[in-house]
A = this chain, B = another copy of it.
């Protein structure tokens, strides 16, 4: 009963395949036939769903950005609104840090950087989806901690921003813009440091 056709299925399959192929080969070297093959559809089907290669690229990155954003938000959601903030924040920091360094996030950043010339708006757009929403959600959670008395009075937006900066800054630097894969222990260490600093300063 599992129809393997279905317009939505194919669209999603194409988006996934496109992101994978683009991530592996880059925008120019990736060819549409390869994407179609990877998606298990014919080439014109790709063009039935997306006007051209450019549009497909943007859509694939947007979809990936959504997935990354969702994962990030899930990590934030796991910060308990009560209970020990150190544990919560550390756990969230580790989850975020790992997500930051996984294949998808790295590919998303790499592709965005590499195509800055051709798709200048991507940097902003992707950032808005991934980082913007994340900062907002994090600020929300922090606000509850403040209200609950676990965090001392502060501007949650500012603290959220700093928290994220403490995470991503070192990760980007150490991984050389996502070029090098970091060992899990190092990722956790960065996360722990970030959480520790925030807790010390604001708890």
Contacts and interface: CB of A to CB of B under 8 A. Distances in A.
Interface of A: 25-29, 110, 113-118, 120, 123, 169, 173, 176-177, 179
A116 B116 contact: no
Interface centre among A27, A114, A116 (most CB of B within 10 A): A114
Contact of A179 (B29, B114, B120): B120
Indicate how many identical chains form the complex: 4
Nearest to A180: B123
Contact of A110 (B27, B110, B117, B179): B117
- Shortest Cβ-Cβ A-B pairs, 8 listed: A28-B28, A114-B114, A26-B117, A113-B113, A116-B179, A113-B177, A123-B179, A113-B114
Contacts of A26: 28, 117-118
A25 B28 CA distance: 12
